[in-house]
Structure 1
Amino acid sequence: MSHRHSVSVAAAIVDEFGRVLVTQRRDNGHWEPPGGVLEFDESILDGLKREVLEETGLAVEPTRLTGVYKNMARGIVALMFTARITGGTPTVSDETSQVEWWTAEMVSSRMDAAYAVRILDALRQDGPAVRAHDGVSVLADLTSLP
C-alpha cells in the first residue's frame, strides 16, 4: 500500500440566481462539483482551470479558497475554490454525463455529504473550512478550524 497523498481541486461556480454548477461523473454516476486530480507539474490554479474546462466546457477564474478536505480512506486532499465563468458554454464531456445548475437545497438532498459540504462551505462567506471525510460522510474532526 502506498502512503502518498493525492491532491484534487474543485470549483463552486455560482450563477446570478445563487445556483451552483454540478456535474454527474460518467464512471460512477455520482454528482460532484467540477474538478479533479492535479497533475504533478501543474500549479493549483492552472489545474483547477484545466479540470473545470475538461469537465464542463467552461473557462473560469478562481476567486477564493473556501475549504480543504481530506478523504481519510484514500489519502486524497481536496482544495475547493469559488470561481467565476470567463467563457464557454456548459456541456458534457468524456468524464461527465450531465452538467446542471442546482440550488443549495438540491445539493443537500441529492449529493453525498462529503461532496455537498464542499459546495455548502463555498456558499458561506467565512472560511476556509478544514474537514475530514471517509468518501461519503463528513467525519467529526476535533482538529478542524471552527
Structure 2
Amino acid sequence: MPASDYVKNLRALVGHDLIMFPTVSAIVLDERGRILLGQRSDNHRWSVVAGMMDPGEQPADALVREVEEETGVQVEIERLAGVALHEVVYPNGDRCHMVNSWFRCRAVGGEARVNDSESIAVGWFAPDALPELDPFALLRIRTSLPPEAPTWFARPGESVAPGY
C-alpha cells in the first residue's frame, strides 16, 4: 500500500522511529446483518475496512472516504463504537502507534468490489461465519454489533489485545 506524501515526508525526517497516526475503521453491516471485510493485498489476511486520516480530515469523512475507496460501498455512520491505540511494525521496520476510532455503519449504496490496490478480495460475511481475523479486528466487530452499546475503550492499564 503506497504511503501518502504526508507519511513519506515524516519518514524522511524520522526514519523508522515511532510515529503516532490517527486512523479509522468501519464495521459495515448490510440489510441482512452481514459484515463487510476486505482481504489485504500486503499480507492476504481478512480485516475490517480501515485507513489513515489525512491532515485536516474529520474522522467521519475519512471513514466514508476509505470505505468507498477500498470497496465501492457507500455508508452511513450509525455510531462511534470504540477508540484504542494499537501498535504496527511494518516489514521495513517502520514503527507506528495507530489511534483507531471505529464506527458501526450501514451500507446505503454501491456494490462491494475490490476498488483499489489495498485489497485482493472484498466480501460480506455473516457474524457467525467470519474468516480468520486478528484479535484487534474481532474486538472492533464484537464492540460494534450491538446497535446501542456504549463506546468501547481500553481502561487505564488495559491492553487492547495480545500483541497490540
Please, what TM-score do these two structures have when normalized by structure 1? 0.82
Confirm or deny that 1:46 pairs with 2:82. Answer: no
- 1:69-84 matched pairs, under 5 angstroms: 69-72=84-87, 74-84=96-106
Kindly state the Cα deviation for residue 106 of structure 1 after the two structures are TM-superposed: 2.9
Confirm or deny that 1:29 pairs with 2:44. Answer: yes
Confirm or deny that 1:97 pairs with 2:90. Answer: no
In structure 2, the residue corresponding to 1:126 is in which secondary structure? coil
Kindly state the Cα deviation for residue 3 of structure 1 after the two structures are TM-superposed: 4.7
Q: Distance in 1 between matches of 2:69 and 2:30?
A: 19
Tell me the residue number matched to 2:30: 15
Tell me the residue number matched to 2:129: 106
Kindly state the Cα deviation for residue 27 of structure 1 after the two structures are TM-superposed: 1.2
Q: Give the structure with higher Rg (CA).
A: 2
Please, what TM-score do these two structures have when normalized by structure 2? 0.74
Confirm or deny that 1:129 pairs with 2:132. Answer: no
Tell me: CA distance 1:8–1:104, structure 2 relative to 1, closer, same or farther (3 Å).
same
Q: Distance in 1 between matches of 2:43 and 2:151?
A: 28
Structure 1 residue runs without a partner (length 5+): 140-146
Flag as ranges the 4+ runs of structure 1 deviating above 3 A. Answer: 1-4
Q: Distance in 1 between matches of 2:54 and 2:150?
A: 26
CA RMSD, Structure 1 to Structure 2 (Å):
1.9
Kindly state the Cα deviation for residue 127 of structure 1 after the two structures are TM-superposed: 1.9
1:86-124 CA distance string (max 9 Å, x none)? 3211110221111111122233x6111111110111002
Tell me the residue number matched to 2:110: 88
Paired letter, 1:120:
R
Kindly state the Cα deviation for residue 59 of structure 1 after the two structures are TM-superposed: 1.5
1:53-95 CA distance string (max 9 Å, x none)? 1110011121100011211453111111011223211110221
Q: Distance in 2 between matches of 1:99 and 1:88?
A: 13
Q: Distance in 2 between matches of 1:38 and 1:2?
A: 20
Structure 2 residue runs without a partner (length 5+): 1-15, 89-95
Kindly state the Cα deviation for residue 32 of structure 1 after the two structures are TM-superposed: 1.0
Q: Distance in 1 between matches of 2:151 and 2:41?
A: 29
